[in-house]
Structure 1
């Protein structure tokens, strides 16, 4: 390469890593879209309707433990071994869920899968930080978002068709087989590539932290376990009487807030400017979007008698909107800046959630849901890559693992808790007799709340990047 201007994510020194990591993102996309599409059928088949939300929140909750472990592991010895361990756990969880004979075993598989999925996300972020220069971060994360394009076109439809004409189990077992193949591919691509942290000019040395490194990691793992257990507890509260379930959920949420403080940058929960607001924005936006999305196929199947195959169309359009908007952000994000991206993203998400809310109240045309959810996906596509780019911009080689872990912890904890809270509201606190109205009113309120940190994120240490 002749210099930074000649560098791309596809040049011969990086193309293998780009391809291998994009394959992992591709498989994660297939799995995520498949689960959302088939969960109404799984819950019916395994007699676990009351635990519908837990099947989503369980994976996200244990993902927090995986994120903390892999973040510390990556900072200590690089992301290679943590990435391999995370992929192995992800595949093992898919196998347990695919072979489950009851809802509780299915959830155990989702818990194992979460450990791997959470760790894989953090490890990939650190791989990007170690291999790609900062000016390519927007492009590689846009490529990861583009890896959702094919799954978004075929994933929900394929998952629905497999469920209708074969069995829902194959939506898990099939991804497990593909993950094993991808594991071999990524291992080959990373062999011989240095993932060591190189100090760069201008990095500020991190101040020494109190306590031994092992003690700090042990404390973070303990706190992550508390977050995971409490998040799952919120989900299981939906299976209890309201007089017990609501106080139990409120207590669990309070414990989560306390346990999260050492796992996130100082000032995150009060939306302090710069990195803390980036991390908080991720949690609120993810929670609002995924809590609402979990009930989109269920709404179409329960209220409008869609088949699983056609219920996935809303997810297809949302994923396409996400990928397209991510590509726009990758090309124009630096020029737009964080404030404009935040306003555009929130407007699109509000339009999407509002459209589904109208349908859930008036029971009007179900195709409004499909179109509206495409708009919500586009809003997330604008926002998500920007948050990741900003996180790395505010990081040094000494804290890339911690900051990447914090971003993912916020993402997964926000999603896990708010999906569980939505499930609790759906079951125990319906508005006007409809749990769907409760879910989408909650999502709309959260999207509006996300403006608080969204307008305080900044554009990185050097202004607009």
Structure 2
């Protein structure tokens, strides 16, 4: 929609930095890297220790809700941050996002019931969703377009260090101290990261303003809330026993799709070539990858008897190869069509996830699962940063917030819906009783990964 709302003007070409570590960008780069680093740590840590938390809080029946509620809440945060950023610039939504994320950490750390823990996870999702959109707009406003592939590559590499230490460290803390400190300890680090990015906030607040061409209306916030509730509804439907489980989940899914339509560019849900296909591809590969990642440590812990810290190491494997794939895509010749890069990433993801399905079905070696996850992570690394770069290339200063929010919404909604249906499938075939739950959930993720391949062929963008 058109609205005469001010947004920040981009920096002039004469003063444009030539490196993401130039003096005028150094602390912004460090602060943004640190915030994404901590978000990655929490994601990997919670995935690793979630079996322990669910047993301690007697919340096994809400296992998938603890994940899907976080992703669903992030949709609301993304819409709010996108609208707010297009109105006033990204500085204020960035500050608010850090505050809400911190409150969520405190709530989750203090949880004495699964319901309270889910509230904390919901607030974390709300804050992290707003945070990623605000940071995307910070990149668009402060970094020249030639530096976008490098800064997004750095964002991807922010997953490397937490992936190396996060899962095993979280497992050790949960076993030797308490899982509560996995959340409490991060609070202090978030405060330090926020301090590093404060100089960028001051710069953004001083920037001149333009007239925004497209700002999401208040109705978008309502639709985001409906979409979030629908995603959680899918999970809750899956937790119900009896003949009504699937109808409830499918009904919630239809509502989610209806609510998402106005939050995404026209043509996204019909896979229109160009920007719409690029955004929906992000959602599909996120759906396949994250719905697999949720059950891998669970599988290794329950079926193979590995302790949480050791089961979490498989997430490290995927995150390291993700970072390697991100570095590789940044060095690929620009003459290689984007469609080929995206198809290659989708094919690698399909192969890696299919390996997890076969591991669960045939009780294959843990080493085979690790090798497959290495391939899946590389596929994500090739795809994710390139998609982020392409979406900003399609955007002007007048719609950076909307398009960045749409990209992140597709990512979060795709993952949240897939995790919710994965939980439904897991429970439908018996869950942990006969081990078939893991096979079914991973088969579902494999289908999603394969479905992303033809969508990848529809990505067509302007030259960068």
The aligned residue for residue 202 of structure 1 is: none
**Partner of 1:243: helix, strand, or coil?**
coil
User: CA contact under 8 A between 2:57 and 2:112: conserved in structure 1?
Assistant: yes
Deviates most, 187-196 or 418-427: 187-196
Match of residue 347 from structure 1: 347
8 A Cα contact 1:131 1:195, kept in partner: no
Q: What is aligned with 2:88?
A: 77
RMSD of the TM alignment (CA)? 2.0
How do 1:165-180 and structure 2 match up within 5 A? 165-180=176-191
Q: In the TM superposition, what are the counterparts of 1:217-366 in structure 2 within 5 Å?
A: 217-332=217-332, 334-366=334-366
Counterpart for residue 64 of structure 1: 75
Deviation at 1:226, TM superposition (A): 0.3
Q: Which moved more, 1:152-161 or 1:225-234?
A: 152-161
Distance 1:374 1:406 in 2: 28
Secondary structure class of the residue paired with 1:7: coil
SS at match of 2:360: helix
Distance 1:181 1:276, change over 3 A: same
CA contact (8 A) 2:48 2:171 kept: yes
Q: Equivalent residue for 2:458?
A: 456
Give the deviation of 1:433 after TM superposition: 6.0
**Cα offset, 1:459, TM superposition:** 3.1
Post-superposition Cα deviations, 1:188-209, rounded to whole Å, max 9, x if no partner, equal 453335674777xxxxx987x7
1:14-163 paired onto structure 2 within 5 Å: 14-163=25-174
User: Are the equivalent residues in 1 in contact too, given 2:284–2:414 (CA < 8 A)?
Assistant: yes
* Conserved 8 A contact 1:67-1:119: yes
> Contact 1:141–1:330 at 8 Å: present in 2 too?
no
**Cross-structure match for 1:407:** 407
1:188-207 equivalences in 2 (<5 Å): 188-193=199-204, 196=207
Secondary structure of residue in 2 paired with 1:101: coil
Please report how far the alpha carbon of residue 33 of structure 1 lies from its aligned counterpart in structure 2 after TM superposition: 0.8
Instruction: Give the structure 1 partner of residue 194 of structure 2.
Output: 183
Q: CA 1:456–1:430 in 2, change beyond 3 Å: closer, same or farther?
A: farther
CA shift digits 1:65-88 (9 cap, x unpaired): 110011000000000010010011
In structure 2, relative to structure 1, the CA distance for the partners of 1:155 and 1:44 (3 Å cut) is same
**Gap runs ≥5 in structure 2:** 1-11
Cα distance, 1:238 vs structure 2: 2.2
1:347 to partner: Cα distance: 2.0
- Report the Cα offset of residue 4 of structure 1: 9.3
How many angstroms apart in 2 are the aligned matches of 1:410 and 1:266? 13
For the residues of structure 2 that align with 1:335 and 1:10, how far apart are their CA atoms?
27
**Cα contact 2:27–2:196 (8 A) shared by 1:** no
Distance 1:282 1:86 in 2: 23
Give the aligned partner of residue 416 of structure 1: 416
The 8 Å contact of residues 361 and 439 in structure 2, kept in 1 or not, is answered as yes
1:181 CA displacement: 2.0
**Aligned match of 1:373:** 373
**Equivalent residue number for residue 383 of structure 1:** 383
Tell me the number of residue pairs that the alignment of Structure 1 and Structure 2 aligns. 451
14-23 or 79-88, which moves further after superposition?
A: 14-23
Deviation of the 1:135 alpha carbon: 1.1
Deviations along 1:17-66, one digit per CA (max 9) or x if unpaired, are: 11111111111111111011111111111111111111111111011111
Conserved in 1, the CA contact under 8 Å of 2:91 and 2:205? no
